[in-house]
Amino acid sequence: MTPRPGIEPAPLPSVVVLISGRGSNLRAIVESTPPCRIAAVISNRPDAGGLAFAHANGIATEVVDHTAYADAADPRGAFDAALMQAIDRHQPQLVVLAGFMRILTAGFVDHYTGRMINIHPSLLPAYPGLHTHRRALEDGVRLHGCTVHFVTSTLDNGPIVVQAAVAVDADDSEDTLSARVLEQEHRLYPQAVRWFAEGRLRIDGARVRVLPPPDADTVAAANDRALVAPALDR
């Protein structure tokens, strides 16, 4: 809708993205052109590949190197305090953890309650922590996937926004399964950011309700929303 003359359009919500590596989910979010402004990309590693992508796309970047606080009396607390200052300079409505490989203190998480999200490569609450694909293969699960969730002080916990499941093939390796899950991450995370920016997420206890868009038509049939693996006989 075109704003009326003399009326300024509402400013886009501001987002800060935290990364530690190549930033593939950052790229997916930026390339999805969400209705928000990526105010900054901040990394705890100066060699993170995602910083170059952000710079090439005109996004402000900053490094808060966690190793610089190794000699502090409370290294984690000192790092989190510096990171919080860097984030808050941009006054974001949302903080996005996109492959940010640091365990955050409870005080840091509390500061961003309800406005910090993470993506994890498993169908939470299954397989929190590291090596999710290896553990899924070792357990012989048929379905694996990824989860976008609001961040709480418990690791890889918090109200779930959206999940995607992939079938686990008999000949899967960690690499092949990881690649298939990553494809779904690149679909889910931009959608979750868009929902937040559009004001369509409501935390209701342990659940997150996604409000329908104004032009919502019909809800997909239940059969269209199920993934069964291995496939059932027809």
**Spans of all domains in the chain:** 14-213
Contact indicator for 135, 180 with CB cutoff of 8 Å: no
The dihedrals phi and psi of 103, each to the nearest 5 degrees, come to -85, 120
Dist CA 77 CA 58 (whole Å): 31
Entry pTM: 0.92
DSSP character for 7?
Answer: -
pLDDT at 207 over 60: yes
Mean pLDDT for the chain overall: 93
Superfamily for 14-213? Formyl transferase, N-terminal domain (3.40.50.170)
Q: Which of 55, 66, 111, 120 is catalytic?
A: 120
Do you know the residue count of the chain? 234
Name 55's Cβ contacts closer than 8 Å, sequence gap at least 6: 61
Instruction: Please compute the mean of the pLDDT values over residues 21-38 and round it to a whole number.
Output: 98
Give me the pLDDT at residue 81, please: 98
The dihedrals phi and psi of 164, each to the nearest 5 degrees, come to -135, 140
pLDDT at 205 over 60: yes
pLDDT at 221 over 70: no
DSSP character for 108?
Answer: H
Distances (CA, A) of 91 to 15, 40, 61, 85, 207: 8, 10, 15, 10, 26
Q: Indicate if 120 belongs to the active site.
A: yes
Give me the pLDDT at residue 128, please: 98
Give me the pLDDT at residue 225, please: 65
- Tell me how crowded residue 199 is: count the other CB atoms within 10 A of its CB: 11
Position with higher pLDDT, 180 vs 233: 180
Residue 94's SS3 state is strand
Instruction: Please compute the mean of the pLDDT values over residues 76-100 and round it to a whole number.
Output: 98
Position with higher pLDDT, 234 vs 26: 26
| Token duo for residue 23 | 């930033």
- Tell me how crowded residue 215 is: count the other CB atoms within 10 A of its CB: 5
Instruction: Please compute the mean of the pLDDT values over residues 187-216 and round it to a whole number.
Output: 93
Give me the pLDDT at residue 222, please: 46
